[in-house]
Amino acid sequence: MNVLVVGRGGREHSLVMKLSESKQVTNLYAAPGNGGMQQQAACIDIDEMDIEGLVVFAKEKSIDLTVIGPENPLNAGIANRFKEEGLPVFAPTKEAAILEGSKSFAKEFMQQYDIPTASYAVFSDAQQAKAYIEEKGAPIVIKADGLAAGKGVIVALTKAEALQAVDDMLVSKAFSGAGSTIVIEEFLEGKEFSLMAFVNENQVFPMVTARDHKRAFDHDKGPNTGGMGAFAPVPDVTEEDLQFSMEHILKPTADGMLKEGRPFTGILYAGLIMTAEGPKVIEFNTRFGDPETQVILPLLKNDLVQVFTDVLNGKNPQLEWEDQSCAGVVLAAEGYPGSYNKGIPIPAFNKTESTFIVHAGTKLDGTSLLSDGGRVLLTGAKGNTLKQATDTIYQLLKNTKDQSGFFYRNDIGR
């Protein structure tokens, strides 16, 4: 098979790494890819938002399966175009991707189908939003309605922070169009975890759970990021919690989208929080999570190409998982998620058999690997226990020289 992965980040490199293991793959392409993917795939200089360019390429190279990584092309209708041209694609249509593309749509949908989530209100007027915050108090959560690269969520611990977030989004337009409408939610107390599933309309096949660490610095301090590290599976999520999440969240979501005339095929990601009443939805994504994918796929025993093919054909992929833990720590550019420098030389890692490196924001300059983003790469390891996996990673990072210009958290999975 000829397989194409669309995207340029760590999630896509992780997909490329897993797909490259398949004996069914003849040619593997990534568009546009990154500096680290070039060992396993041919990187094609087509932007992920150049949908027509990608369609032309898929036809030219007789691509048998395209997997879409990032959210922006999904919401721009890339799956619709591929389907119109009869090109096999594993991704939701634009109509289904709205579950991630609009937080207000997602909240209304959850309310309608009785899917457990925080109480909320939607605003596009700053004064009304502020009046609501004055009435509700803090802590409280403010979210940009549209896509904001994982940065459009402010967990405000004080009223002053909440009011500032409203000004930033509705007045200063910090997230431009994505923040012209905002959702204000009650603050939920509890531990978060991610549950992803392969979905084809009303068929739902869950993966193992993962937990990512969103804050930039140790002890969950600093601003929210796209994720500074992750581990899988999550030891404190029980079999009962998983059953509840399947029966009350994932399955009703797939069924509800079908009823809405927005049938969902692709990856459904539920960002969940364990409350006193059980798991509740913080957010939905309509694609593989990043960095959760980087620690979940290494635990999958199945051939990923076969999984995609089975799900698209309405068959149960019979998912099998290794009885191990997997963890990953992100190496980020100093200053991230604020402004940061690019073009910093990537350190040389003395990898062992149990460790792996996933590239996110890197590029090749001749033969030199340089940083090309905020989250630069993820150092990962598998182990018989979570502690063994994280100890292995931190040993690798400790032994790695020339890390100037980068930082990482020291408490992932701990």
Tell me the mean pLDDT in the region 210-226: 93
In this structure, whether the domain defined by 125-180 belongs to CATH 3.30.1490.20 is answered with yes
Higher pLDDT, 277 or 205: 205
Contact 139, 172 (CB under 8 A): no
Per-residue confidence (pLDDT) for residue 150, from 0 to 100:
64
Tell me the mean pLDDT in the region 357-377: 95
Q: Is the pLDDT of residue 145 over 90?
A: no
- Fold topology of 325-407: Glycinamide Ribonucleotide Synthetase; Chain A, domain 4 (3.90.600)
pLDDT tens digit sequence for 102-119:
999 999 999 999 999 999
Per-residue confidence (pLDDT) for residue 173, from 0 to 100:
85
Per-residue confidence (pLDDT) for residue 224, from 0 to 100:
84
Please give the distance of CA 186 from its chain centroid, rounded to a whole number. Answer: 23
Per-residue confidence (pLDDT) for residue 157, from 0 to 100:
92
CATH code of 2-94, in short, is 3.40.50.20
pLDDT tens digit sequence for 147-198:
877 668 888 999 999 999 999 998 888 777 776 889 999 999 999 999 999 9
Q: How far apart are CA 109 and CA 117, in angstroms?
A: 11
Whether the bond into 73 is cis, omega within 30 of 0: no
Tell me the mean pLDDT in the region 382-408: 95
Contact 21, 303 (CB under 8 A): yes
Q: How far apart are CA 149 and CA 212, in angstroms?
A: 15
pLDDT tens digit sequence for 326-352:
999 999 999 999 999 999 999 999 888
Q: Is the pLDDT of residue 210 over 70?
A: yes
Per-residue confidence (pLDDT) for residue 363, from 0 to 100:
95
Q: Which two three-digit tokens encode residue 109?
A: 């949908």
State which H helix or E strand residue 296 sits in: helix 292-296
Per-residue confidence (pLDDT) for residue 16, from 0 to 100:
98
DSSP 347-383: PPP---TTEEEEESSEEEETTEEEE-SSEEEEEEEEE
pLDDT tens digit sequence for 269-297:
999 999 999 999 999 999 999 999 999 99
Q: How far apart are CA 338 and CA 404, in angstroms?
A: 17
Higher pLDDT, 402 or 334: 334
Tell me how long the chain is.
414
Please give the distance of CA 288 from its chain centroid, rounded to a whole number. Answer: 5
Please name which of 213, 219, 250 lies closest in space to residue 232, comparing C-alpha atoms. Answer: 213
* Residue for token pair 């500074």: 228
Extents of the domains making up the chain: 2-94, 125-180, 191-312, 325-407
Amino acid letter, residue 301: K
Instruction: Give the relative orientation of helices 251-259 and 103-112 as an angle to the nearest 10 degrees.
Output: 100
CATH code of 191-312, in short, is 3.30.470.20
